[in-house]
Amino acid sequence: MKVLVIGSGGREHALVWKLSQSPRIDKVYCAPGNAGISEIAECLDIKANDIDALLNFVKYDWIDLTVVGPEAPLTAGIVDAFVKEERRIFGPDKSGARLEGSKVFAKDFMLKYGIPTAEYKTFSSYLHAEEYIRLKGAPLVIKADGLAAGKGVFVCETVDEAIDSLKLIMKEKAFGAAGSKVVVEQCLRGEEASFMILTDGKTVVPLASAQDHKTIFDGDKGPNTGGMGAYSPAPVITKSLQVKIMKTVIAPIIKGLSRERINYRGVIYAGLMISNGKPYVLEFNCRFGDPEAQPILMRLESDLFEMLKATAEGRLKEVKVSWKDDSAVCVVLSSKGYPDKYEKGKEIKGLEDLKGKKDIMVFHAGTSLNNGKLVTSGGRVLGVTALGKDISAAKDKAYDAISKIHFDGMHYRKDIADKAIKKLKVESEK
């Protein structure tokens, strides 16, 4: 069987790595991929959003399954185009991808189907939004409606901050058309966690829990990024909380999708705030989280290809999924300047010594080859991911591996997984 993975980040490297382990796979392609992916798959010079070129390749080369990594091709309708041509593809169609592609759609969907979320109002008029912000008072969260690469959400502690964010979105149009509508919502406090499921619209398979680290600096300080590290499992998601999430969040989503006649076949990622023991949905993504996919896929024991193919074919109920008891921690190494303008073209050294170690994977994100040399080419460069008997052991292994890696301006958080380790320590002392 031949598989095509679409995308070029750490998530796609992890997907390609795990898919290649399936005994049923003969060949994995990746479009466009990166330097790390090119070591284990054939990379194609096709952009992730060039739907026509991707479809042509799949038809010409008889690809058995296409797996879409990022959200942009999904919201642009890649699945609709492939299904029309009877090509097997993993991911939701355009109507399902609105769960991520439009925050207004997602919030209205949650309200309609009773999914717990922050109170909100949506606006397409700047003046009405400003009036509402002044009426409500801070703290408030201001969100651009459309895709903004994780940068369109502002948690505002004062009314002035909220109005500045509103201006940035609606007047200065910092995110273009994605900011023609905004969501103004209540600020929730608590602990965040990522909860992902696979679904074919009928069956739901929960994936291992994970927690992301969104901000660039230690102690959850500084601007938000795509994610600076993640670990799995997330101790905040206890067994009883998972039961609650399945009942109060996931079951109503599946019911809502069916009522709306949305035939969803892919991942649903719920970004949750756990507040007083209850889960509230902050956002949905219609794809695997990045970097959450890296530690989660390192813990997966089952055949990922079977799981994704069955999802795409609507036979998810036939699949059994098992996980390693081990924990995994992924620490992202980023370029100087990220998440703003960042440096590129810096030589990366030290990866050779880390190759072939079963419990360490260095997933590439923004890397490329320049005259045979491995260089940085993106904001997030590498995701150093380690497996250990518990989170503490996995963390130590990941940071030990990082001490061997170098590139100019290399930045990473030193506190990935500390929250989980602290939580587990407190619990064990109870």
- Binding positions for ligand AMP, rule: CB under 6 A: 118, 141, 150, 153, 155, 185, 187-188, 192, 214, 271, 282-283
Nearer Cβ to ligand AMP (47/136): 136
Q: Smallest distance, Å, CB 292 to ligand GLY?
A: 6
185, interface contact from ligand AMP, ligand GLY, none, CB < 5-8 Å by kind:
ligand AMP
Q: Smallest distance, Å, CB 285 to ligand GLY?
A: 5
Nearer Cβ to ligand AMP (44/187): 187
Nearer Cβ to ligand AMP (51/184): 184
Q: Smallest distance, Å, CB 189 to ligand AMP?
A: 7
Nearer Cβ to ligand GLY (133/328): 328
Q: Smallest distance, Å, CB 306 to ligand AMP?
A: 31
Nearer Cβ to ligand GLY (75/285): 285
136, interface contact from ligand GLY, ligand AMP, none, CB < 5-8 Å by kind:
none
Q: Smallest distance, Å, CB 400 to ligand AMP?
A: 29
204: Cβ contacts below 8 Å, ≥ 6 apart = 197, 198, 246, 250, 254, 316
Residue number of the CB closest to ligand GLY reads 227
Q: Checking DSSP bridges between strand 89-90 and strand 140-144, what pairing results, if any?
A: unpaired
Q: Smallest distance, Å, CB 150 to ligand GLY?
A: 6
**Site residues for ligand GLY per CB under 6 A:** 150, 212, 227, 285, 289-290, 292
188, interface contact from ligand GLY, ligand AMP, none, CB < 5-8 Å by kind:
ligand AMP
Nearer Cβ to ligand AMP (29/175): 175
130, interface contact from ligand AMP, ligand GLY, none, CB < 5-8 Å by kind:
none
Nearer Cβ to ligand GLY (81/298): 298
Residue number of the CB closest to ligand AMP reads 283
141, interface contact from ligand GLY, ligand AMP, none, CB < 5-8 Å by kind:
ligand AMP
